Amino acid sequence: ARSVEPRVKSAASVTHQWGAVAGFAAPKRATAPARAAASPYAGRSKQSKEEKKAAKAAKKKAAPAVSKQAKDAARKKAAAAMREVVSKQGKAYDRMVRELDRDQYREYVLSVRHNPAGDADPEPVLSDWLPVCEVIVADKQQYEARKFFKENNMDIPETEQQTVSAEQIEGVPAIRAAVPRLGSDLLAMAAAMAGSNARNVEVSDLEFGVEDWGSFENAVDGLEAQAGAAVQRARAAGVLGVSPDDDASEVKRVYRRLIATEHPDRNPDASIEKFNAIKEAYELMSDRGGQSGATFEGLGDKAKRDFVKLNDAHAGVSTAGGAKAADASKTEIALRSLTIYDRIKTVFTARNVSLQNRATTAAKAKAGKAGKEGTADAEAAPEETETAEKVEEPVAA
């Protein structure tokens, strides 16, 4: 028998053959645009890429990329400029001390504190008052006259040797009036004392306070007393079983529990020595009747402090309600960094480290608390969804 091979028909012949069948239409192959239109997700990938590319280009145009080397160079340049400012002001200060007699000028210590607007956190080392520089204030007319005579090797006339009254060189109003024009100089002094982080602070967010040297030395004595008591505080914390940096409320809670347990009237087995040790430890931890307060203004003997906050005095901002403009023209002012004094630099550097560590600990605790709350919300979410579905099921039925 002869084998018959099946005849292969073309698409055209098939269409012609079956075209007479009612309702039949040969399937057409969908083109790429048609498939794209039919898919709800079509084109998204390409569109997303285009959007990301456009956003990246806009970001690059708005903020040109700066290399690490360029950033380092800019930081070094800024640091060098600040050192130059500190040096220039220090030389001017020393020159005034040489040219004038001791009773012809007044010396003060200027402190700064960071108080940013809104809910922003202050720079940790500037969250409390930080003394940054000395300020010398002299009568400008007499200083210029004496400097002129000395520069020209001339004898100073008797009329120029008269003692200047305290009213002529009253420092606080003069310093308040000078603060707005000394913005960059004061920021440089703050950076020298507080470290590089102070360079990121807006000078207009700084507050200023002034006191004379006697008051400031009293504060330094109080801070040294605090530093000397740090070891005793650590021991007291060990007696109570708390950390030296714990909040006062936590220390008080632990103390109440211990004192109730170790009270001789409540516990016959308790010793009076341990009871007294707990009381003494708590008194030291809470600084009861303390030698110095926790803030700068509370350091030392408060009766011997004359710290004055310069209200409405902001560097780089016009002073409102402050001293008259005439005060700035009648007085000569210069600054000198406190870093030249080893004792002051040592005690306040240690204090800066302590403030920085406290801020870091507080930030970690805050982040940990936020993380726990986020985890709790995430765990509770499925239960809420399931409850919602159970409520909706009867309605759907």
> Tens place of pLDDT for every residue, the chain, 397 residues?
555 555 555 555 655 565 555 555 555 555 655 655 555 555 556 667 788 888 877 776 766 667 888 888 888 998 899 999 999 999 999 999 988 888 889 999 999 999 998 888 899 999 999 999 999 998 887 777 777 766 767 666 655 444 544 444 577 888 988 898 898 899 999 999 998 878 888 888 999 999 999 999 999 998 888 777 667 778 888 888 888 777 888 888 998 888 888 888 888 887 888 888 888 888 888 764 444 456 888 888 888 899 999 987 776 555 444 444 445 678 899 999 999 999 999 989 888 888 888 888 888 888 877 777 666 666 665 544 444 343 333 333 3
pLDDT at 216 (0 to 100): 94
Percent of residues in the chain assigned helix, strand, coil, to nearest 5: 60, 10, 30
pLDDT at 244 (0 to 100): 78
Q: Locate all alpha helices (DSSP H) within 30-105, ordered by sequence.
A: 32-38, 44-62, 68-99
Here the contacts of 270-275 (C-beta below 8 Å, separation 24 or greater) are none
How far the first Cα of the chain sits from its last, in Å, is 68
| Cα–Cα distance measured from residue 316 to residue 203, given in angstroms and rounded to the nearest whole number | 7
pLDDT at 227 (0 to 100): 74
pLDDT at 155 (0 to 100): 65
pLDDT at 133 (0 to 100): 96
- Whether the CA torsion 298, 299, 303, 306 is positive or negative: it is negative
pLDDT at 72 (0 to 100): 86
pLDDT at 389 (0 to 100): 40
CA-nearest of 98, 92, 315, 347 to 216 is: 347
pLDDT at 168 (0 to 100): 46
pLDDT at 139 (0 to 100): 83
Instruction: Give the residue carrying structure tokens 């409520």.
Output: 391
- Whether the CA torsion 274, 278, 283, 285 is positive or negative: it is positive
pLDDT at 28 (0 to 100): 59
Residues 6+ apart with CB under 8 A from 69: none
Q: Do the strands 206-212 and 308-309 form a parallel or antiparallel pair, or are they unpaired?
A: antiparallel
Phi and psi angles of residue 127, each rounded to the nearest 5 degrees, phi first: -70, -20
pLDDT at 320 (0 to 100): 45
